[in-house]
Amino acid sequence: MSENDARRPLPPQPAQEQVPPGLTGAMKPVPDHGEETYVGAERLKGKVALITGADSGIGRAVAIAFAREGADIAISYLSEDQDAHETARWVEEAGRKAIVLPGDITSDDHCRHLVRQCLETFGELDILVNNAAFQRTYADIGDISTEEWDRTFRTNIYAPFFLARAAIPHMKPGSAIINTTSIQSRQPSPHLLAYAATKGAISNLA
């Protein structure tokens, strides 16, 4: 791809209408997670990564990339069993171990459970990727319920805090925590009020 090609805007994509959390197979077009293109170089050989939202999207892409770099993967996801097992298949195809861990990361107890399961299975935790997020669009602030606001914050900012608090005591020097933010943290869209607010908070969670 030339520099000029990279600067050209992408063609509009069809709207995606699914009840959250949604499934990869129902998306049109189906996302490219690097299944056929990413080539690793063993830069994470012997490491263990816990990735939230690893069933699909950015989370699956990270899981595939990390596995091809040599890491074993703990796949955290809400309830999308088919997608999570597909991610696990790609991890195992890369010659690494994978565990699938369903459950709701808005729960402090579940976040502690994720860390325990990772340690019990692999014996260590070197990389925590806080990727899972909840996002809905609303034309008017009056349409956002208190429950919706709470769910967005508990998923997008409480969970990374819960997980970091649980993981850090078990992480050795040189380990890493990666928090996924968004352009919404700097250029918020009015129809993504709750989501943008959490991404701004994540940018300061360091």
Q: What is the CATH number of the domain that holds 150?
A: 3.40.50.720
Which pLDDT belongs to residue 109? 98
Q: How far apart are CA 39 and CA 54, in angstroms?
A: 19
Structural domain contains residue 27: no
Q: How far apart are CA 129 and CA 76, in angstroms?
A: 10
Structural domain contains residue 6: no
- Asked if pLDDT for residue 6 goes beyond 70, the answer is no
Structural domain contains residue 106: yes
When divided into structural domains, the chain yields a total of 1
Determine which one of 38, 77, 138, 195 is catalytic: 195
pLDDT tens profile 56-113: 999 999 999 999 999 999 999 999 999 999 999 999 999 999 999 999 999 999 999 9
Residue range 11-23: average pLDDT? 53
Structural domain contains residue 17: no
* Prior bond of 169 cis (ω within 30°): no
Q: How far apart are CA 63 and CA 65, in angstroms?
A: 6
Calculate what percentage of the chain has a pLDDT beyond 90.
74
Structural domain contains residue 189: yes
Q: Is 77 a catalytic residue?
A: no
Domain with 138, as residue range(s), is 39-203
pLDDT tens profile 128-146: 999 999 999 999 999 999 9
Structural domain contains residue 60: yes
Helices (H), 44-176: 57-68, 81-93, 108-122, 146-153, 159-167
Structural domain contains residue 137: yes
Structural domain contains residue 18: no
- Residue 15 pLDDT level (bands cut at 50, 70, 90): low
Q: Which of 176 and 28 is assigned the larger pLDDT?
A: 176
